[in-house]
Amino acid sequence: MEDEMILDKLVCPVCGQHRFEEKGGYEICPVCGWEDDPLQRREPDLAGGANKLSLNEARKEWFEEVYREEDEE
Ligand SMILES: [Zn+2]
């Protein structure tokens, strides 16, 4: 149970498709390009950290992109 929680925190908060090596290690997600900023994880509406967009904005844009791609197929 505890392991699952730790793994959860390592998963990219934007796309959920990449697991970072360490939590908040400023690693860049190869799937969506999100940089793992611990401050933005705590403050999902904070823009202008390691990423230009806030976490919530980046997540929104990511999902819009995914849906757009699905529509094109
Ligand atoms: Zn990602």
Residue by residue, pLDDT tens for the chain (73 residues) are 455 555 578 999 999 999 999 988 999 999 999 999 999 999 999 999 899 999 999 999 999 998 888 777 6
Amino acid at 71: D
pTM metric for this prediction: 0.81
Is residue 54 a contact partner of residue 10, using CB atoms and an 8 Å limit? no
What's the gap in Å between 47 CA and the centre of ligand 1?
17
Question: Distances in Å between the alpha carbon of 7 and those of 3, 12, 13, 19, 59?
Answer: 6, 10, 12, 8, 19
What's the gap in Å between 71 CA and the centre of ligand 1?
21
CA–CA gap between residue 66 and residue 21 (Å, rounded) = 24
What's the gap in Å between 19 CA and the centre of ligand 1?
8
